[in-house]
Amino acid sequence: MPSKAPSVRPEEAASPQRPSRRARVSAHRPSPGKAAPRRPSRAPSVPVTDPTAAIGVFDSGVGGLTVLHAIAELLPHEHLIYLGDTARYPYGTKSADTVRRYALENTAFLADKGIKMLVVACNSAAAVALDALAERFAMPVVGVIEPGALQAVRQTRNGKVGVIGTDATIASGAYTRALKRLRPDLEVYTRACPLFVPLAEEGWVDNDVAHSTAALYLTSLRRSRIDTLVLGCTHYPLLKRVIGEVMGTAVTLVDSARTTAEAVRDTLERHGLARRRGGGSVSFFVTDVPDRFVKVGGRFMGQKVDSAVRIER
């Protein structure tokens, strides 16, 4: 007796009002003549050309650590700087406007650390902020949405793809646009699953509550006969087992962490920015006190996060 009927939004054929190519996996360059973003209001940044410089990664909190982990595995020579905006977490329940502002502030912080490229490891931020970041910052930017979409298009056999994510991500329509750009005849079914994030944070990934929640959110998606489901939020891979149980073995679950790491590698190569030798490193910054980040972080990073530096703003 759910008080809210689970509903799936089938997305129709490519909307004519969205002809422009938007967020791409590859580099974002500021377009001359475009209006300056509202905040932060600084002069456009100059791209860093030093391959030994770090890669900046940001997320609203701990979720992006799944992406960080994949990058660290694929690119062991790289220095990584991770920023978790834990004081303002989560982004997925907030408006596009607010998430865009937070993304600009996070990127300004990382740009100030001299990063050579940026990874937006938060689906909600990648869904609404890539254009604003490209206008304001000169560095190459990779988000998690295009890689996830690419992986889904490679995977599907029957051309029916589902996407689950936060309210912000699903409302943005970013996955649908990315998928249809790659393959216009796809049928795309989307569903916001807001409770998955707090479940993953609580560590309830395989109990009764997780099972009933997955059943409520996903039953109508399963009925739509998709063969591929994009886990459009970095928290969701932790719930893979219960999601898989509801969807059945015929549906492939797509987690964009690995594909995003590959997009990062390709982007570095294309810009001559890859670091080819020496040990890599990871440093962590958070906006709330680090305790909870360090505690919960291990669940996402697959290894111990033993310290993080707090920044205040």
Query: Where does this chain bind a second copy (CB under 8 A)?
Result: 1-4, 27, 38-40, 86-89, 93-95, 97-98, 104-105, 108-109, 112, 194-195, 197-199, 201-209, 212-213, 216, 287-289, 291-292, 311, 313
Identity of the residue, 38 or 223, whose beta carbon is nearer to a second copy in the bound complex: 38
Identity of the residue, 38 or 270, whose beta carbon is nearer to a second copy in the bound complex: 38
Identity of the residue, 151 or 213, whose beta carbon is nearer to a second copy in the bound complex: 213
Q: In which residue are the tokens 């920023």 written?
A: 83
What minimum distance in Å lies between the beta carbon of 189 and a second copy?
20
Residue 123's nearest CA partner among 151, 106, 143, 96 is 143
Question: Phi and psi of 18, rounded to 5°?
Answer: -125, 65
Identity of the residue, 168 or 186, whose beta carbon is nearer to a second copy in the bound complex: 168
Degrees, nearest 5: CA angle 276-280-282: 145
What minimum distance in Å lies between the beta carbon of 271 and a second copy?
26
Catalytic residue among 57, 99, 104, 122: 122
What minimum distance in Å lies between the beta carbon of 212 and a second copy?
4
Contact present, 135 and 31 (Cβ < 8 Å)? yes
Question: Phi and psi of 183, rounded to 5°?
Answer: -155, 95
Taken as a whole, the chain contains a residue count of 313
Q: Let me know if 193 is a catalytic residue.
A: no
What minimum distance in Å lies between the beta carbon of 137 and a second copy?
13
Identity of the residue, 3 or 31, whose beta carbon is nearer to a second copy in the bound complex: 3
Euclidean distance between CA atoms 53 and 311, whole angstroms: 21
Catalytic residue among 233, 251, 286, 301: 233
What minimum distance in Å lies between the beta carbon of 110 and a second copy?
10
152, with CB counted inside 10 A (0-12, 13-18, 19+), is buried
- Which are the catalytic amino acids? 122, 233
